[in-house]
Structures are given as C-alpha cells and as structure tokens.
Structure 1
Amino acid sequence: MRVAVTGASGFIGGAVATALADDGHRVTGYGRRVGGWSHPRGTYRVWNIGRGPLRDPERVDAVVHCAALSDDWARYEDALRVNRDGTRAVIRTFPGARIVQVSTSSVYDAFGPNVDEREDARPPRRYLSAYAATMALAEAELGGRDAAVLRPHAVYGPGDPLFLPSLVDAVRAGRLVLPDAGAVQHSLTHIDNLVDAVRLGIHAHGPRGVFNVTDAEPVRLSHAVAELLERRGTKVRISGVPTAAAMRGAHALERAARISGRRPPVTRHAVSRLGYERTFDLTAARERLGYRPRETNFEGAEAW
C-alpha cells in the first residue's frame, strides 16, 4: 500500500512510519522538521499541517494522521489551528484515502475517573486543556468518512518523550509525589500495541468509527511507575497528596501563570491524567478491528 504518515518527526508518527515501511508499504512521512524521519524504503517531506493543505501531494491509499499539538498548556488558538484545522488540511490533501487518526483518551471527561470507559460515553461539557478540546473537534471532522479513530492512553516505549521523562524529572531525592500515591488503575499503551492497531486500521473500507487502544489489562499506576523507574536505575519512594488537593493546587498555579505569562509547573490536566482511574473498554477494537493487545511491558526500558 501507499501510505502517508503525518507527524512522522514525532514519537508516535515516527514509530508508525518505520513499522509500516518495515512491513513493505510505500511510506511517505510528513513533519514540520527538516530531516525528521528517514527509512531506506521511505521518503520524507516537510509539511506543517497548521498552514493548510499540501499543494502537490502524492497519491496514497491510506493516511495515518499522527500530527497534533499535544501541549496541555497550549493556547486555544494554536491548538485549534493544528488539531482541528490541521485535520481538515489532511482531509483536503488526501480526499479519497482511508484515514486512521491517532487521537487521545484526553477527549473523555477528565473531571473524574474513567472506569472501563466506552467509546460512546457522553462527551464532556468542558475540558481541562485546549489540547483535549481541539482533539475532540478534530475527531468530529472525520465523521461519515472512511476513517478509524484510535484513542490511546499514556503511550510509552522506545523514544517516548513525555511519559517516562516527566516521571524522571519529577523525582526529588529519591522521592516521587503522585496524586493519591498512584493508587489507581491505568490502561497504559505500549507503542507496539498502538502500531498494531494502526496496521489493522489502514485497509480501505475497514471498520469505521472510534476505538480505544491500550495494553491488554490495566495496571496499578504506582507499581508500573516504580518498575519503569527501577529499570532505568532510579529507585524511588512514592508518596502522595490527595487528588482533590492536587487539583486545587494546580488550579492556583494556572491562575498565577496566566498573570505572569509563564508556564505553570503543574497543570490540572496533568494531575487529572494521573490522579483518577483511567481504564478503557477494548471490546470494539477487539471485535471490529481484530485487535489483540499484549500486556504492559517495560522490557528494554533501560535503553529508552
């Protein structure tokens, strides 16, 4: 197949583009940075989707749309331009292609726990970040098209620039403070599982709609974090603060940041993602996509 991958200069897009090229597909990766991805059997082009459709696109059978502004403190206008308007640009650039969009579980209600959350859950009335709000709008752009939307949660694995680094940076003198000490269940998503879901989704006229994509079973967040950091040579003592108190503190920091113009050290979005249960029902992906996820696995984390 001829496949275009947006966001190929990033963690998820790069992993997807490499895996599909390894599978023998003719892959064109797109990203904002010069030289953002390379593969012996692939090509790379610079494209900032927030600036509109590509003028001279290749003909492709499928598009894997991974590009997004995922900063939880981004201005709404910036997030809207990249996430919603960028998705419109992808649709206009490749009007006849099957589209697999890598979205996010952040589109679910973040003001409380998600317990075995299904894709048809009622949309929240408000969001904790422009990222979440505009990704929901981006998903809506694909309604009625030959498209599959994948919603992973906490993607990790080789090349991860967010989940593991943020944990490492938060360790102070061998101590890591998490909301409620991480005593909640989470459905994490290994990059290999997400890539497998993309492989299943790219075929023309395949199942349409929205699909949760995570590892096979939830894990206790504190246990997962401790194992991950220990494999990296960092032994930590995990302590906690009540999630409600952490949310109030983050809200105060956000208000101060809006006055100062500086990024807050902690956001409510970040506290919410860690402090409440985040587990997701995989029935739709298993039954309609044929998704067979592996268990959460930190093997090789020493080199990540």
Structure 2
Amino acid sequence: MESMSMVKRLIYTSSPSVVFDGVHGIFNADESMPYPDKFNDSYSETKADAEKLVMRANGREGLLTCCIRPSSIFGPGDKLMVPSLVAAARAGKSKYIIGDGNNYYDFTYVENVAYGHVCAEKTLSSEDGAKIAAGKTYFITNMEPIKFWEFMSLILEGLGYERPSVKIPVSVMMPVAHVVEWTYQKFAKYGMKVPQLTPSRIRLLSCNRTFSCSRAKEQLGYEPLVSLKDGVKRTVESYSHLQAQNHRSISKASIFLGNGNLAKTVLWEDAKQTVTVLLLLAVIYYHLFTCGYTFITAMAKLLSLTALFLFIHGMLPSNLFGHKVEKLEASNFHITQAQAHHIANSISSNWNSLVSALRSLCRGNDWLLFLKVSLSLLVVSILSSMSSQAAFKIGTALVFTGFKAYEKWEDSIDSMVGDACTILLHFGSAKESSS
C-alpha cells in the first residue's frame, strides 16, 4: 500500500465499447450512457470492470483517477486494423460490406489519443481541475464522424486496393458467424486459429458508434490536434511497405482455394505434394469405386472406415511410445440448446433466401438468376446420372485441371463471363420494359 500512495494520478485507457450492447446502435452518446445489461463481448465487459475499479480507487490515499475512452484508434504503428485490412484485400475479401454500409463511426488518430491523456493529467494536476475531472469518464474522438465503410475505403484506396462495394445483409452473415464461432469453441484446443468472422465482429461492423466529446472539450480542454484527413494520410504513408504494388499478385483461383496447402496442391505449385495427393486419391478410388458402387454406397463405405478409425483411436492409450495421443472428447460432438438455436436460425435464413429466389424466378424478370439455377440443376442432373466411379474420375480431373486453367487464363475467362452476364442483363431489362 505504501507504493500505491506514491502514485498521485491515474488515467486509465478504457474503450467506448463499455456502453455498447451489440444490438442497439450508438449515435452521439455522452458519458451519461450507462453500462448495458449484457456486453457485446468479453473485451467490453472486462474494460467496464476495470473502469469500475479505477473509479472506486479515486480519492483513496490521495489518488486521483479518471478514464479515457478513445474510439477506434488508428495511426502509424497500428498492428491490427491496417494489417488486417491489407490481408483481407490481398485475399480478395475486402470487397464486401457487412450491412447497408451507412453506419457511422468515430475514429481517433493515435496522436489525439495521447493528447487526450495529457489533457486529463494536466487537469487532474490542478486543484480546481481535480474537483471537476476526478472520478469521471471521457470519450475521446477526432470529432469527425464518418461512415465506417467510407473510412475503410480511404485506407484501402490510399494503399492502392479497391474499395468495398458488395453489400451483404447482416441477416445473412450472422447465422454463418454463429456456426464459425461454435466450430472454433469446439476445435480451438486442437490448434484452430481465432476466426475473424464472429457475431460480435459482425455487430461492430454494422452498427452506428459515435460519441460526444463535449465533456472532454469543456472539462479537459481537449481538441483534436490532427484532423481525420491528415491522420489517414499519415497512416497510409507509414504503411508504404503494404502498398498494393509491393505485393505479388495472387490468382483468384488460389484465393478461392484458401491460398494455402490446398491451393498449392490443386494448382501444382508443389509438384511433390500434388503427386502424393493424386496417389492417395488413386488408392481411395481403387478401394471404394472400382466395383462400380453408387455414390451412397461408396460414402457408406467411407463412413465405415471413419468409424473404424475413431474406434481404434479411442482404444489407443494417452501415451504411445513416448508420443502423446490427443483424444477426441465426446463433448466435441454435443450441441447445446443455444447452438441448436443458432443453427436453426441459419437453416431458416437459407430457406428464406431460397424462397426469395423462387419468388424472383416466378416473376420472370431475373435472367441471371434463371441461368444460375438452370446450370446448377444441369450439373446436379448430370452427377446424379453417373456412377460414383465416373463422378470421382471426372471430378478429380476437373479439380486438378480446371483451377489450373482458370489461373492461367483468368483475365480472359473473367472477361467472357462478364460479357455474358451483361448480355443476359440487357436481354432481361429489354424483356421487362417491353412487357
């Protein structure tokens, strides 16, 4: 406690997320906004807990405290937002907008955040200021609310990447995010990486989150030192090594295949690995398909082998010849009521999307959708008429040649598909106007 008494002023860096419940958007909120009954995520909840501790410590043994809530910090040296944006852009994932794209955000340049702390410390160091600011919280922003996706676009375009343009409804993304989160919870202990697509992340990307700095301005004397425009410019300039022209182009085929081992195998980037996989597929073909089984029979045999593997794996001791054997626990296959609810929501969402597509088909005004459905049904009919043996051979050949061909003639194929879609859209528009 003696060391505690030596600290006279404590400014805690909190977060505006302490007042965000993940459901309701926040527009120009001030510090009177209470903590929510339920937080959006663990980060927000622990930040709120820390705030309460800091507030309770105010006045003890001469300690003066206050909390700063900087909103969405950005700037040079950031190891999260900009690198993540660039990684998404290079993987072809930055073109998507979650929601309608009209949600506003308050971003704060890092130098302004530091200045907010300086203002708080100076205020607490004076007797009159301490009476005003001690034990309080303060939102700190650039005081320039901007559409979230517009800000992301400024960063991406500044680095030479395309701005997001394809809008995906939250109702479509949320069920998928719940499934991804559930999968991570089950398989994290086996080395699964933390997913970017989570329900809390979807809510953050699609809601309004703007905050008033009136209290900080009046009581701390805070004013942003760096404008949002200059902050974006400085940030972009500090990441010159992440510019698009400094990055080797990755084919769309590789991106579609995950840009990992699967892509290397299918696109023949690692010839040895590709040959090994082809030999393995040949073994599977020999054991499962040479007798001309139907697809269902072949899958039944494959599931039988899987069951046998799981049975033998379960019999193995936890330590085999000095090597630890990771056991699959039964709980990994259990589904809680909440998880079942999320999965049901996902299924219902997909069903509603299907119904919406059928309605559009019934109106007879979406030729592009009609083409997609027709081609899909054609593929299904062809596959269903084949034996599993033929489907396996043709599928393997198409995978290991089709993706490679697309990678080689990507621009030409994209141009042909684009022209075909344009013709269909024009044809559909002409038909609609004539009717």
Query: Which TM-score applies when normalising by structure 2?
Result: 0.46
Q: CA deviation at 1:143?
A: 1.4
* Residue from 166, 170, 178 that aligns with 1:239: 166
* Residue from 228, 234, 238 that aligns with 1:296: 228
Q: Structure 1 stretches of 5 or more lacking a match?
A: 1-52, 58-91
Name the counterpart of 1:142: 54
Helix, strand or coil at the partner of 2:97: strand
What RMSD in Å do the two structures reach over aligned CA positions?
A: 2.2
Residues 1:128 and 2:40 are matched in the alignment: yes
Name the counterpart of 1:268: 199
Distance 2:8 2:49 in 1: 20
Distance 2:115 2:195 in 1: 36
**Structure 1, residues 121-149: CA drift from partner, whole Å, max 9, x if none?**
12111123211111100000011411121
Name the counterpart of 1:157: 75
**Structure 1, residues 275-300: CA drift from partner, whole Å, max 9, x if none?**
10110011111111111124313112
Cα 1:247–1:152, aligned 2, differ >3 Å: closer, same or farther?
A: farther
User: 209-218 or 126-135, which moves further after superposition?
Assistant: 126-135
Name the counterpart of 1:182: 101
Query: Which TM-score applies when normalising by structure 1?
Result: 0.65
- Structure with the largest fraction of strand: 1
**Structure 1, residues 186-211: CA drift from partner, whole Å, max 9, x if none?**
11011011011011011325322100
Cα 1:123–1:244, aligned 2, differ >3 Å: closer, same or farther?
A: farther
Contact 1:183 1:221 in 2 (8 A): yes
Q: CA deviation at 1:302?
A: 2.6
**Structure 1, residues 237-275: CA drift from partner, whole Å, max 9, x if none?**
422212243233222211121111232331222222211
Distance 2:93 2:40 in 1: 30
**Structure 1, residues 148-207: CA drift from partner, whole Å, max 9, x if none?**
211112100000111212222222437421312532111101101101101101132532
Distance 1:272 1:94 in 2: 42
Q: Structure 2 stretches of 5 or more lacking a match?
A: 59-63, 240-435
After superposition, residues 1-304 of structure 1 pair within 5 angstroms as 93=4, 96-109=7-20, 110-144=22-56, 145=58, 146-171=64-89, 172-173=91-92, 175-180=94-99, 182-203=101-122, 204=125, 206=130, 207-208=133-134, 209-261=136-188, 262=192, 263-293=194-224, 294-297=226-229, 298-300=232-234, 301-304=236-239
Paired AA for residue 149 in structure 1: C
Helix, strand or coil at the partner of 2:233: coil
Contact 1:181 1:239 in 2 (8 A): no
Helix, strand or coil at the partner of 2:175: helix
- Structure with the largest fraction of helix: 2
**Structure 1, residues 44-64: CA drift from partner, whole Å, max 9, x if none?**
xxxxxxxxx9xxx9xxxxxxx
Q: CA deviation at 1:217?
A: 1.4
Distance 1:124 1:287 in 2: 26
User: 202-211 or 152-161, which moves further after superposition?
Assistant: 202-211
Distance 1:299 1:265 in 2: 26
- Count of paired positions: 215
